[in-house]
A and B are shown apart, each in its own frame.
Chain A
Amino acid sequence: MDIAFRSPKPAAVEVRDLHVRLGGNPVLRGVNLRIEAGRMVALIGPNGSGKTTLLRCLLGLQKPDSGSVRLLQEGPPDPALLRRMGYVPQRLQLDPSFMLTVREFLAIRRPLTAGWFWRPSRQIDALLHEAVGEMDVTRLLDRPVAGLSGGQLQRVLICSSLLNEPELLLLDEPTAGVDTPGEADFYELIAEVHRRRGLTVVLVSHDLSMVYRHASRVYALNGVICCEGAPEEVMNAESLRQAYGIHFTPYQHHHSHSHGSHGH
C-alpha cells in the first residue's frame, strides 16, 4: 500500500503512529496524518484533545514518546527545517516593561535585518517592505508590541512568520481574543496569503464556520485522528459526534450546500 502512489502530491506533513503522554495521561494515542503540500487545512477537536500537543510535536517543541514526524519531505523538525516553517502562536508573553516595537520585532526575526540596532529605521523598513505591506501593518511599525490589540498582534505575528518565506505555516487558534468581525477578516487574510504564496497552511481552530469556508481538508482530532476529509464530509453530525464525543449540532450555515444529514 503505497500512499505516494495513491496521492501524487507530495506531503508537507507526514505523521505516523504518534504517541505522546503528558503528566501520565496519554494525550496523543497513535496519530496518523498526511497533509498535502499547498493545501490549507484545519485541525479541529474539543478542548484537551491534543491539538496544541500535535502542533508542538510538529515544531519540535514536544518530543513524542514514539512514532515519527516528517516535514517537507525531509524528516523530523530540526533547525534547518524550522527555518522553512512559520509559526503563529496564540499570544506573546511580552511584558509591557519591554519596549520592543513592531519594527524591531520583525527585524530580529530576519537575517537580512539582523543589524537593526545600528541601522536607521528607513533602511529596515525598506528591507521589511513586502510582508509588511501584505499584512497591512505599516501603520503599526512604531508601536510597542506589548501595547497592540489582539487583532493587531495577530497580524503582526503572521507578518513576522512570513518574513522568511516559509513553505509551511502552522497557526494555533490564531483568533483567540479577536472579535467576530475581526475573525472573519483574519481568516480572509490567511486564505489570501495561502492563495498568493501557495504555501501549506495548518490551522487549529474552534470556529467551524470559518473552517468550513476556508479549509480544503479537515482533520478531527481526539487523541487520534478520528475522521478526516473535505469539510462537508467531516462536518456532519455523526463524525463530529465521534470527534467531540457528545452530541453536537453543527453550525447552521446560510449558504446552499447540500451535505450530511442533520436536523434542527
Chain B
Amino acid sequence: MDIEPFMLRAVLTALFLGPLCGFIGVFVTARRMSFFSDTVAHAALAGVALGFWLGLPDPTIPMILFSLIIAGLILWLKERTALLNDTIMALLLSGSVALGMVILSLLKGYRGELDRYLFGDILSVGWGDAALALVVLITVGSVLFWKLNALALLTAHSDLAHVSGISVRWLNYGFVALLTVTVALSIRLLGIILVTSLVVIPPAAARNLARSLRQQILLSLLLGLVGAGGGVVLSYPLNLPSGPCITLTLVGLFVVSLIGGRLQRAHQNAS
C-alpha cells in the first residue's frame, strides 16, 4: 500500500500535535481557558490575511505571531483595565476576525483560501509544518513536564503557588505562550473554528475515566493522539475536510468515555 506523501505529512503532524493539545488541554480546561484558546485561534485569521497581504507564500509564521500578539493583548488589558476576561476576549476575537475578513476581501482572489483555514485542510500541510509540529511537540511537551508541579499548583490555587516560591506571573505568561503556539499550529489540521475541540475534548473525555491527574494526563495524551490521527486518516477516503473529521472522532471518543465512566462506576459500586 502506498501512502501519498501529503497524507504522510498530515498524519505525522496530527500524531505530533494531537497528544500535545491533549496534554496542555488538561490545564486549559481546569483553568477555564477554553474561550482564551478560541480567541487566539480566531486571531490567527487576521494573521493569515496579513501574511497574504505581505505576499508571503506560507502564512504559518504571521499566524503564530498575530495569535501571540492577541494573547499578549488579552493579558495586558486584563492587568491594566477593569474589564472582565470574557469581555476582553470577545472584543479581540470579533475584532481580529473582522480585520482578517476585511483584508481578505480587499486582496481579491483569496476568498477561496478561507475555507481551508476555517475548517482545516490536510493538503495544505507541508513538510515544514510537520517539522515545526515535531519541534513544538518536543519543546512544549518537555516544558510542560518540567513545570508540571508548578502548573498543577497554579491551577489549584495561585496564592499557594506564589507562597511555594513559584513566579506565578511568569509561569502564566509562559503557559499562555505555549498554548498559543500549539493552537495556532494546529489550525492547519482543524481550522480556526474547530481547533479548540482538540484542546478541550481529550481532557474532558479523560476526566470521565481517570482517577488521578496522572491518569487524566496520560489518557488525554492518548485520546488526542487517536482523535487527531484517526480524524485525518478518515478525512481522505471520505473526501471531507480534516477539521470536522477530527472533531467528530473526538466527540465519538467522548461519548465512549462517558459510557465507560458510567460502567466503571457501576462496577465499583457493585463490588
Contact = CB atoms under 8 A, between A and B. Distances in A.
Interface in A199-225: none
Contact of A61 (B31, B159, B164): B159
Interface residues of A, number: 31
8 contacts: A80-B165, A94-B156, A95-B29, A98-B29, A103-B212, A109-B149, A114-B149, A142-B212
Given A60-B162, A79-B165, A94 B155 contact: yes
Contacts of A93: 156-158
A61 B207 contact: no
B152 interface: yes
Interface majority SS on A: helix, strand, loop or mixed?
loop
B30 A97 contact: yes
Contacts of B163: 59-61, 82, 85, 87
Contacts of A79: 165
Contacts of A105: 152, 156
A142 B268 CA distance: 15
A234 B163 CA distance: 31
Contacts of B159: 56, 59, 61, 87, 89
A204 to B, nearest CB: 14
A145 interface: yes
B26 interface: yes
Interface string A171-206: 000000000000000000000000000000000000
B133 to A, nearest CB: 24
B157 A108 contact: no
Given A59-B162, A82-B164, A83-B165, A99 B211 contact: yes
B148 A95 contact: no
A97 B29 contact: yes
Interface stretch (B43-51, B120-128, B185-193, B213-221): B213-221
A80 B26 CA distance: 30
A117 B157 contact: no
Given A98-B26, A98-B30, A117-B148, A92 B214 contact: no
B204 interface: yes
B144 to A, nearest CB: 11
Interface in A87-113: 87, 89, 92-95, 97-101, 103-105, 108-109
B153 interface: yes
Interface string B187-210: 000000000000000011011001
B160 interface: yes
Nearest to A109: B164
Contacts of A98: 26, 29-30, 155-156, 213, 216
B57 to A, nearest CB: 41
B108 interface: no
B32 interface: yes
B153 A109 contact: yes
Interface string A43-64: 0000000000000100111000
A92 B31 CA distance: 12
A87 B164 CA distance: 9
Contact of A100 (B31, B32, B145, B156): B156
A135 B19 CA distance: 38
Closest 5 CB pairs of A and B: A98-B30, A79-B165, A108-B149, A99-B216, A87-B163
B152 A99 contact: no
A82 B165 contact: yes
Given A60-B162, A82-B164, A83-B165, A101 B211 contact: yes
A104 B155 CA distance: 13
A104 B152 contact: yes
Contacts of A99: 206-207, 210-213, 215-216
Interface string A107-129: 01100001011000000000000
B113 to A, nearest CB: 36
A236 B162 CA distance: 38
Interface string B152-181: 110111111011110000000000000000
